[in-house]
Amino acid sequence: MEEIRYEKDMYEPLKKYLSDLGFDVRSELNKCDVVAKKDGLIIVVEMKRHLSFDLLEQAIDREGYSDAVYLCIPKPLSFKQNKNWRSKMKVLKRLGLGLFLVSRIGPVYTVEEALSPEPAGGIRTSSKKRRALDREFDNRRMDLNTGGTHKVPLVTAYRESALFLAHLLDLHGPLSPKDLRNLGAKAPKTTPVLSANHYGWFVKNPDGTYDLTDGGREALVLYSPMILAFRTVESDV
């Protein structure tokens, strides 16, 4: 096995593993590294390079508004199921947490479920946070973040909607809200996002159409991977 140096290197293998099980997967969602959803079941995965108290604290918080919580760490290079390892598994089991281990041999990554989560007693459920997580998940049409990255502007559902509008305006020129909706923009969000202009990306013309500001065109460059994803989907359609 070879060393996995960064949390973000575990994300794509983990996403594929969960996707193969039939889950829709989103990353960096409401402070959670990874959220997977299938038939109303919500799983949260927190990734770190090693087990720590901070990681346990994060995971226990997530148990309050998800159906299951996993930790995900690189599989130790000198992995042994010795007394020390069994003690760690005992703690995780007592807390009701699951564990994924990611290993790497050359370009090939493997994900193992080392421990399945079990219900832990005494954990208070936050229905408000659950609804917020569910809503944010459903409002993202794509997974445009990479789990485990830091100091990178995250694409929330709101920013994704604004970026999609910017993508359409860049592609077609000035458009009205109705035109944008006809081209695939979400009906409930189009006019509010344009009117609020939270990021300063849009300008309203006298004829009621909208165009991009210089800041909007800079956003196309800053978020070029996301814009490319929109273009790819549109091309496939």
| Centroid of chain to Cα 160 | 12
Query: For residue 1, is it within any domain?
Result: no
Kindly state the average pLDDT of the residues 65-79: 88
Query: For residue 225, is it within any domain?
Result: yes
Query: For residue 144, is it within any domain?
Result: no
Question: In sequence order, what are the beta bridge partners of 88?
Answer: none
The last residue of a domain, from among 78, 104, 139 = 139
Query: For residue 152, is it within any domain?
Result: no
Same domain, 19 and 84: yes
Same domain, 118 and 162: no
Same domain, 15 and 120: yes
Query: For residue 44, is it within any domain?
Result: yes
Structural domain boundaries enclosing 174: 157-236
The closest of 229, 198, 230 to 213, measured between CA atoms, is: 198
Same domain, 162 and 122: no
Give the CA dihedral 149, 153, 158, 159, nearest 10 degrees: -120
Same domain, 40 and 133: yes
| Centroid of chain to Cα 218 | 24
Same domain, 95 and 165: no
Query: For residue 204, is it within any domain?
Result: yes
Tokens standing for 202? 């849009």
Same domain, 87 and 179: no
pLDDT, one tens digit per residue, over 156-200 is: 677 888 999 999 999 999 999 999 999 989 878 899 999 999 999
Same domain, 121 and 162: no
pLDDT, one tens digit per residue, over 19-65 is: 999 999 988 888 889 999 999 899 999 999 989 998 999 899 899 88
Q: What is the pLDDT of residue 35?
A: 92
Place of tokens 């993508």: 167
The pTM assigned to this predicted structure is 0.57
Same domain, 111 and 221: no
Tokens standing for 75? 């599989």
Query: For residue 196, is it within any domain?
Result: yes
Same domain, 95 and 173: no
The closest of 69, 72, 51, 61 to 117, measured between CA atoms, is: 69
pLDDT, one tens digit per residue, over 121-165 is: 545 566 777 788 777 777 665 555 544 544 445 566 778 889 999
Which is higher by pLDDT, 227 or 218?
Answer: 218
Kindly state the average pLDDT of the residues 196-206: 94
Mean pLDDT is lowest, of 84-88, 91-95, 186-190, for 186-190
Which is higher by pLDDT, 160 or 111?
Answer: 111
Same domain, 95 and 202: no
Question: In sequence order, what are the beta bridge partners of 104?
Answer: 109
CA angle 216, 143, 36 (to 5 degrees): 150
Which is higher by pLDDT, 68 or 145?
Answer: 68
Which is higher by pLDDT, 106 or 48?
Answer: 48
> CATH no. for residue 182?
1.10.10.10
Same domain, 190 and 228: yes
Query: For residue 13, is it within any domain?
Result: yes
Q: What is the pLDDT of residue 140?
A: 62
Count other Cβ atoms within 10 Å, centred on residue 160: 21
Kindly state the average pLDDT of the residues 206-219: 94
Q: What is the pLDDT of residue 222?
A: 81
Q: Which residues have C-beta within 8 Å of that of residue 66, sequence separation ≥ 6?
A: 35, 42, 43, 44, 130, 133
Q: Which residues have C-beta within 8 Å of that of residue 63, sequence separation ≥ 6?
A: 69, 96, 97, 120, 123
Number of independent structural domains in the chain: 2
> CATH no. for residue 42?
3.40.1350.10
